[in-house]
A and B are shown apart, each in its own frame.
Chain A
Amino acid sequence: MHATVARTASGPNLRQKLAARGFDAVTLLVLPAAIFSLCLFVYPFAFGLILSFEPKNGGWLANYQRFFADAYLYDTIYKTLALAIPVTLLNLVLAVPVAFRVRLMRHQRLLTTILVLPITLGTVLVAEGLLNYLGPQGWFNRTLMTLGIISQPLRLVHNYWGVFASLVITGFPFTFLLTLSYVTGIDPALEQAGATLGASAWQRFRHIYLPLLMPGFAITFCLSFVQAFSVFPSAVLLGEPAGPTRVISIAAYQAAFEEYDYSMASAVAMIMGFVQLAIVIAVLASRGLFYRGPATGAKG
């Protein structure tokens, strides 16, 4: 590797110049990652993009025209958003108070481990568990019926709420961990200063923590949202894949493996990516409204 650099760089002068700009032999360590992302991300993306403009029938835009003309297809965008956005917001709203509490705890690691378990279990196992637990003959309904609170089992799976519950369970740990790292990154002396200045607990959150955490919340929202938006297994297992939980990834799956129309599937994937990107850009751009410097007390 080093020899290549020496040959291409004509003499030590150029090498020194490059080094001054931050390019030296160490820069080559970027190569594996660059190759990796080129092969596994850039190439398939470009391939899919081109493929989506080569439909089975019709002009080069035919796939997109078909998607936006057919309610059965374009409705998947709303259905996915109707799941992903409330789930992400709920996770964030739940994660903040928990993170604020955990921040002060001594056995933080134990609790963090417990909370992270659902991530390692994977969505399919969680979906299966929920089917047993929340199903018509599941413990949840049986307990409520035994206690006489309900007479008929509640319908909690094979609909919107089944998918919703599974997305909250699998998404929460991720959202929580990110939130916790942002919350603990704020100098506790700032809150103490707020308290000595007469701010109540709510005012300290509202005027000190919230403004400093907003940029972090935006990133957390984006990452959690992207995860929830690409929901597939739980939408099939716990939802109504033909009805209210026919999310966009199901549409792509059907195009690819039921109609064997890879071109159409690519187009759906592109639309899915575009919607995600649009939301992420909008959220990240809003960070500009907030303070984004270091969140510790400025040092002397």
Chain B
Amino acid sequence: MAIALSQFNEVRLDRVSRDFGALNALREINLTIQRGEFIALLGPSGCGKSTTLNCIAGLLPVTGGAIWLDKSRVDTLKPEERGFGMVFQNYALFPHLNVRQNIGFGLKMRGTPKAEMERKIDEALNLVRLQGQGHKLPGQLSGGQQQRVAIARAIVIEPPLVLMDEPLSNLDAKLRLEMRAEIRRIHNELGATTIYVTHDQDEALSLADRIVVLRDGLVRQVGTPKELYEAPEHLDVADFMGFRNKLKGKLVASSNGRAIVDVEGARISGRTRETIPDGSTAYVAIRPDDLVIGEPGGNALAVSVDTAEYRGREFVGTAHTKGGLELVFRSFQAVEPGTAVHLVAGEDNTLVFSEPV
């Protein structure tokens, strides 16, 4: 592959802050990205993930801290001087230029000789599998094809860093899965370093080497997808990782990383990373997948079923307890709304957190 990305060792965000008036969109973000990594910035809308990306790209000036590419400081450079490739959420293809001209735009700005430019455009077209579409205008392409052009345009300039801002959010579900695989393939083939912004945990889990979870402009947790999925450190991170049931209760006892919580009189036990004093408020987090209909007894909650949605292989139900706690659970058989059942939480995948501050 003749598209050879610029070599470097690491990108470092050193206490990067960004204020919009009184609003602190980013608060002292620290993050080091190694060459070749695929990093996902994950968080709900307004958490600062796109702001972080725009600060790295240079589209937004930082109001504090610094960004380093190895030993050189880049946050003081204009976006055109940084040379990072960026894929925009709405693709931002130049509507008046055809596919080849769009892809070649960055090369033209750099004054690349014509022959080399043509060769690189061909390679980029091959890489994103758009051979033979070069003469079309963006308006004549489907969403998925436009997405490929946007990626080709960003990588053809051989950037040290590829930035992607929710690139799949405008595609339909099927195409999203296809393009997800494509993005990972291109990343691997090029040996690129990618920072990928998303609010979709599935996307982050399946694509990234490491995930950075952001909330209110703060880094909440950084880790591999496995670490985040199995051991979220905070209740809000757990919430983002699919723990939809968060039950408030009182801690009864804890030892050796296990805790028992009293939820409306029922005893639920789970893993914990914290030391929570007995008798204080604690939250039990359970994924719907780990909450199934079972027998009364240990780890079981008495509930009344509200709805049961058919999902093909299984049903996803909602239910509530006497005390009014709402629960989402999984069932392999149909359950009638109004039925009284017991929901049992799997001990190993149940997590206990202290009251969030």
Q: Is A212 in contact with chain B by the CB < 8 A criterion? A: yes
Q: Is A21 in contact with chain B by the CB < 8 A criterion? A: no
Give bound CA distance, A294 to B140, whole Å: 12
Which residue of the partner chain, among A198, A200, A212, A297, contacts B92 with CB atoms under 8 Å?
A: A297
Q: Is A295 in contact with chain B by the CB < 8 A criterion? A: yes
Q: Is B79 in contact with chain A by the CB < 8 A criterion? A: yes
B40-89, CB < 8 A from A? 57-59, 78-80, 82-86, 88
- Tell me the minimal C-beta distance from B109 to chain A in angstroms: 4
Q: Flag if B95 contacts A294 (CB, 8 Å).
A: yes
Q: Flag if A195 contacts B91 (CB, 8 Å).
A: no
- Tell me the minimal C-beta distance from B348 to chain A in angstroms: 41
Q: Flag if B83 contacts A198 (CB, 8 Å).
A: yes
Q: Which residues of B contact A187 (CB under 8 A)?
A: 90, 92
Which residue of the partner chain, among A197, A200, A294, contacts B105 with CB atoms under 8 Å?
A: A197
Q: Which residues of B contact A198 (CB under 8 A)?
A: 80, 83, 106, 109-110, 157
A286-300, CB < 8 A from B? 290-291, 293-300
Give bound CA distance, A208 to B93, whole Å: 10
Q: Which residues of A contact B144 (CB under 8 A)?
A: 300
Interface Cβ pair total, 8 Å cutoff:
105
Q: Is A181 in contact with chain B by the CB < 8 A criterion? A: no
Q: Is A244 in contact with chain B by the CB < 8 A criterion? A: no
Q: Flag if A298 contacts B96 (CB, 8 Å).
A: no
- Tell me the minimal C-beta distance from B166 to chain A in angstroms: 11
Q: Which residues of B contact A193 (CB under 8 A)?
A: 86, 88, 92-94, 153
- Tell me the minimal C-beta distance from A294 to chain B in angstroms: 6
What is the chain A residue whose CB lies nearest that of B156? Answer: A197
Q: Which residues of B contact A293 (CB under 8 A)?
A: 95-96, 137, 139
Give bound CA distance, A295 to B137, whole Å: 12
Q: Flag if A298 contacts B105 (CB, 8 Å).
A: no
Q: Flag if A298 contacts B79 (CB, 8 Å).
A: no
Q: Is B206 in contact with chain A by the CB < 8 A criterion? A: no
Q: Which residues of B contact A290 (CB under 8 A)?
A: 96
Q: Is B334 in contact with chain A by the CB < 8 A criterion? A: no
Q: Is A31 in contact with chain B by the CB < 8 A criterion? A: no
Encoded as 1 (CB less than 8 Å from any A CB) or 0, chain B from 133 to 163 comes to 0000111010110110000011001000001
Q: Which residues of A contact B141 (CB under 8 A)?
A: 298
Give bound CA distance, A300 to B150, whole Å: 12
Provided the pairs A196-B59, A293-B139, A300-B90 are in contact, do residues A212 and B80 lie with their beta carbons within 8 angstroms?
no
Q: Which of B57, B88, B146, B157 has the most CB of A within 10 A?
A: B88
Q: Flag if A199 contacts B139 (CB, 8 Å).
A: no
Q: Is B171 in contact with chain A by the CB < 8 A criterion? A: yes
Q: Which residues of A contact B85 (CB under 8 A)?
A: 196-197
Encoded as 1 (CB less than 8 Å from any B CB) or 0, chain A from 128 to 170 comes to 0000000000000000000000000000000000000000000
Which residue of the partner chain, among B84, B93, B171, contacts A196 with CB atoms under 8 Å?
A: B84
Q: Is A189 in contact with chain B by the CB < 8 A criterion? A: yes
The A contact surface, by secondary structure, is loop
Q: Flag if B88 contacts A199 (CB, 8 Å).
A: no
Interface residues on A, range: 20 to 34
Q: Flag if A298 contacts B59 (CB, 8 Å).
A: no
Q: Flag if A294 contacts B171 (CB, 8 Å).
A: no
Q: Is B9 in contact with chain A by the CB < 8 A criterion? A: no
- Tell me the minimal C-beta distance from B172 to chain A in angstroms: 9
- Tell me the minimal C-beta distance from A216 to chain B in angstroms: 13
Q: Flag if A196 contacts B91 (CB, 8 Å).
A: no
Give bound CA distance, A187 to B95, whole Å: 10
- Tell me the minimal C-beta distance from A106 to chain B in angstroms: 11
Q: Is B131 in contact with chain A by the CB < 8 A criterion? A: no
Q: Flag if A190 contacts B146 (CB, 8 Å).
A: no
Q: Flag if B153 contacts A197 (CB, 8 Å).
A: yes
Q: Flag if A207 contacts B105 (CB, 8 Å).
A: yes
Q: Which residues of A contact B59 (CB under 8 A)?
A: 192, 195-196
Q: Is A194 in contact with chain B by the CB < 8 A criterion? A: yes
Q: Is A203 in contact with chain B by the CB < 8 A criterion? A: yes
Q: Is A211 in contact with chain B by the CB < 8 A criterion? A: yes
Q: Flag if A300 contacts B91 (CB, 8 Å).
A: yes
Q: Which residues of A contact B171 (CB under 8 A)?
A: 300
Q: Which residues of A contact B138 (CB under 8 A)?
A: 297-298
A sample of 25 cross-chain residue pairs with beta-carbon separation below 8 angstroms, ordered by A number, consists of A187-B90, A190-B95, A192-B79, A193-B94, A194-B105, A196-B57, A196-B79, A196-B84, A197-B85, A197-B105, A197-B106, A197-B109, A198-B80, A198-B106, A200-B80, A203-B109, A291-B96, A293-B95, A293-B137, A293-B139, A294-B139, A296-B90, A298-B95, A299-B143, A300-B143
The 9 A-B residue pairs with the shortest CB-CB distance, nearest first, are A300-B143, A291-B96, A300-B170, A197-B106, A189-B92, A193-B92, A195-B79, A298-B138, A196-B86
Q: Which chain A residues have a beta carbon within 8 Å of chain B's beta carbons?
A: 187, 189-190, 192-200, 203, 207-208, 211-212, 290-291, 293-300
Q: Given A193-B92, A207-B108, A297-B90, list of 6 further CB < 8 A pairs?
A: A199-B109, A200-B109, A291-B137, A297-B91, A297-B92, A297-B93
